[in-house]
Chains A and B, each alone.
Chain A
Amino acid sequence: MTALSHGADWDFELIERYDTAIAGVADEFGLDTYPNQIEIITSEQMLDAYASSGLPVGYPHWSYGKEFIRNEQAYRHGMQGLAYEIVINSDPCIAYLMEENTMAMQALVIAHACYGHNSFFKGNHLFRQWTSADAIVDYLVFARHYVMDCEERYGAAAVEEVLDACHALMAHGVDRYRRPAAPTLRAETARLKAREENRERQFNDLWRTLPGAPAAAASKAKREVFPPEPEENILYFVEKHSPKLEPWQRELVRIVRKLAQYFHPQGQTKVMNEGWATFWHYTILNRLHMKGLVDDAFMIEFLKSHTNVIAQPAFDSRGYGGINPYALGFALFSDIRRICERPDAEDRAWFPDLAGTDWRRSLDFAMRNFKDESFIAQYLSPRLMREFHLFAVADRVEDDALVVDSIHDEHGYRRLRRLLAAQYAIENRVPDVQVVRYDRDGDRSLTLRFARRRGRPLSDAAEEVVAHLHRLWGFAVRLETVDGDEQIGRALECAA
């Protein structure tokens, strides 16, 4: 077959031809995707999209302005390049392509975003559980209009105050675990009816003759602790129970909460998501090359940027900025394929269920059923730990130096893998702060509890966050810290 094109220039017709070719290969590998919508934008528009976390529409807020200014500044001064693409988890899946890119880059982006990320959005259980891809764009449009409408009615300052406060609590505005689905009207009616029937069956007029319980017990029961179970979703609690919020303010809280929930899966699958997309652009484009659809010059350009994307600088080199999710994710998925296709003795010992199986199936299973934490815990092989030269450092209060806890050797593999997985666990990234008490019948104060683990304290910003929450709540807000069952220090308080 002859190559689709030569040289760097692209036009719309060419993009369509490439897309058809890529879609063909993706189909060969059995990738299941939402339909694609590719939008060509300029670099300015890319900067715009950056500021709103890539969302196609957003409500106006100063923090997005700050983000925009920061990116623009960095870009203008050449300190930061622009991402080649932004892709939105929606149905159809929207991907932005920059007009400045060469044809090879556009093809890379199409393979990466429109087939890699897209299939991940559609397949991964977190996205399936938490986001409704078909509704997000409509919801964003609604949110934007609602916020702007509120600004008109109640003033931009009043709206900003609520949004600021909500943003401060955004990380604590998500449900980490799925709630039971709200019962439908019919189910609810049926439940009430069954309960009524049961009561009728149990009815015995004799009970009426028993002496009543003492009044004190009744009033004590009334003052029982609310909420009965601690609530991790602080914004949800505020929305449902804040004694002072106006209905429109409640709706704003809800909007921020919904957005936070929408982004929740992305934060937990960074390594997997990027790894998956990178693995597939690599696999798809190589396949195109094998079929003779792209020429060698194309591959050289592609490999150059691919190599840049998956570079992992060492911890002590200048460009080090944490573990590169693209590098780690790509290595993990490539390694799974290797273990399936060409397992060695070590792989057979470590992954008896994986070695020698159909790589397509195994990869698909891994993509669907994990998040970063569990994915690493499940699939990080000793070989990868050696390749990355991973080592763990322990930082303990009672020790005046850092201690190397474990390295990539026979004794360290398992612990190292567990530690790296834990590094991606949400409880190690976001402190565990929950609502434990709302004094409904008393002074209406709200009490939060920070469950401290291993002595890691909250940062100083906590005070400001409590002040923000106080603004939403309207009455006193307390933040207490416990470690195990023991209360630590004085509670941080923002009085009414």
Chain B
Amino acid sequence: MVHLIDRRSSSRGRSAVNRERFLRRYKAHVQSAVRKLVGERRLADIEQGGDVHVPRKDIAEPSFGFGHGGDREFVLPGNREYVTGDRIPRPQGGGSGAGGGDGGDGDSEDAFVFSLSREEFMQIFFDDLELPRLARTELGRTEHRTSVRAGYARTGVPANLAIVRTLTQSLARRIAIDGSLRREAEDLERAFGAAAAAGRSAHAAHAYAELQRIERKLERVPFIDEPDLRYRNRVMRPEPVARAVMFCLMDVSASMDEDKKDLAKRFFTLLYLFLTRKYGEVDLVFIRHTEDAEEVDEDTFFHDTRSGGTVVYSALDLAEKIRGERYVRGWNVYVAQASDGDAFGADPARSARFLRDRLLPAARYYTYLELAAESDSGRSSTLWAEYARVATESGNLAMRRATRRDEIYPVFRELFRKDTQ
């Protein structure tokens, strides 16, 4: 009589959709929390989840209720010493006592705190970001194919049987075969009728036999025959894919002190996470430079400590060389450069010229992030000045400056904001 159901294996996370709605509604709070976290965290922990604080008054759901004031009585349990007529000083803070039976949720002003999972964190992190001007026109080297509908075929597996089409075929065939037979049958029937009416029994018997023969023939026409069968046909078509490569150029010269290096690494960590999460197929080339440039793997790029002088040109030259060797045709090329802009002598001008003539024409988008100490944030470097001149001429060079940790994330977002036209 009792109906016992084991629901343990059925859907969990029924509230996931509601949770997601909640996050969407408080997106602004969540985003500012993410920004703060990115600024505060150690590099290795950047992609962990984290706590978000939302002021309680922002998420209150209003309804008509009683405010403070007016006359009322309330009943409390646990009297020990009071007798009728005793006077109790009002509790401090304007509250009206311990509340009646209304559960006492307490109107504490503290924030509503909840944790974001790693996935949610990353999603918000990269919300509305994209690689600008990505062209999806080139045919990919990797065989990326999709299956598309391509009419009907006479052969195929039963699962692909196109029933309506098959029946249409069957109907057409039956009409074609039956038609003449049916007409013949009708004629014979008339002949039989006429013969029977006229009393010519031999004639009638002949017509009757003929009629029977044709009807047997009609019966043998199959409802669905092998030639009727039609199958949905699918073919594989190669898909144009966006192939992209990102060159990460980082200045690790001695003038880049620990703080600046931390800023640069933070920037590239964000870039790295963004690209590997959102664009699975993007190639990454890591180049670090002092007075000479070298290509390194990501581990060395992020964790090795090396330092020396500064020649920016060397990095640009190496990037261009690698591009010429590996990414010649059909690639979307992106470059991100981070430096403190401390370049000397002919280097800034030469770099800017090289950038304008060689790298920029080949690149879709070039970002330059200049890291400055807070003390000299107003002053621009020689490299910045040279680059700025190039930027006014060409549309695909974006430049930003960052001095503090918490600026990295906003700057990053600005650089890779989704184009909303």
Contact = CB atoms under 8 A, between A and B. Distances in A.
B49 to A, nearest CB: 13
Contacts of B15: 47-48, 51-52, 64-65, 68
B315 to A, nearest CB: 47
A189 interface: no
Contacts, number: 268
Q: Is the interface of B mostly helix, strand, loop or mixed?
A: loop
A322 B73 contact: no
Contacts of A462: 62, 64
Interface string A295-316: 0000000000000000011111
Contacts of B70: 397, 452-457
B62 A464 contact: yes
Interface in B34-93: 59-80, 82-90
A48 to B, nearest CB: 4
A203 interface: no
Contact of A391 (B25, B71, B75): B75
A66 interface: yes
Contact of A35 (B3, B84, B104): B3
A51 B113 CA distance: 17
A433 B84 CA distance: 34
B12 A408 contact: no
A429 B66 CA distance: 8
B109 to A, nearest CB: 14
A197 interface: no
A357 interface: no
Contacts of B328: none
Interface string A378-408: 0000000000111111111100111111111
Interface stretch (B95-103, B267-275, B330-338, B363-371): B95-103
B18 A170 contact: no
Contacts of B97: 393, 395, 402
A403 B87 contact: yes
Contacts of B77: 312-315, 323, 388-390
Interface residues of B, number: 65
Given A323-B101, A402-B90, A420 B75 contact: yes
B76 A456 contact: no
A407 B75 CA distance: 9
A458 B78 contact: no
Contacts of B88: 393, 401-404
Interface in B1-41: 1-8, 12-15, 17-25
Contacts of B66: 431, 456-459
Contact of A45 (B3, B12, B68): B12
A73 B114 contact: yes
A129 to B, nearest CB: 24
A168 B78 CA distance: 35
B112 A395 contact: no
A168 B7 contact: no
A457 B69 contact: yes
A468 B62 contact: yes
B74 A69 contact: no
B150 to A, nearest CB: 31
B335 to A, nearest CB: 39
Contact of B18 (A60, A423, A428): A60
Interface stretch (A36-44, A223-231, A237-245): A36-44
A242 B407 CA distance: 49
A256 interface: no
A12 interface: yes
A347 interface: no
Interface stretch (A284-292, A338-346, A358-366, A411-419): A411-419
Q: Which of A12, A40, A402 has most chain B Cβ within 10 Å?
A: A402
A144 B31 CA distance: 30
A321 interface: yes
Contacts of B24: 62
Interface in A314-329: 314-317, 320-323
20 contacts: A19-B2, A35-B3, A37-B2, A39-B6, A40-B8, A48-B12, A60-B21, A61-B18, A73-B115, A92-B3, A172-B64, A391-B75, A393-B74, A395-B71, A401-B90, A403-B86, A403-B87, A403-B88, A419-B73, A465-B64
Given A39-B6, A393-B88, A454-B71, 20 more contacts: A36-B2, A40-B4, A45-B7, A52-B14, A60-B21, A62-B21, A68-B18, A315-B76, A320-B104, A323-B101, A389-B79, A394-B72, A404-B82, A419-B75, A422-B73, A455-B71, A459-B64, A459-B67, A462-B62, A464-B62
Interface of A: 12, 15-16, 19-20, 23, 35-42, 44-45, 47-48, 51-52, 60-66, 68-70, 72-73, 92, 96, 99, 114, 156, 160, 164, 167-172, 312-317, 320-323, 388-397, 400-409, 411-412, 416, 419-420, 422-424, 428-431, 433, 450, 452-462, 464-465, 468
Leading 4 A-B pairs by shortest Cβ distance: A314-B78, A456-B70, A65-B22, A65-B18
Interface of B: 1-8, 12-15, 17-25, 59-80, 82-90, 96-104, 112-115
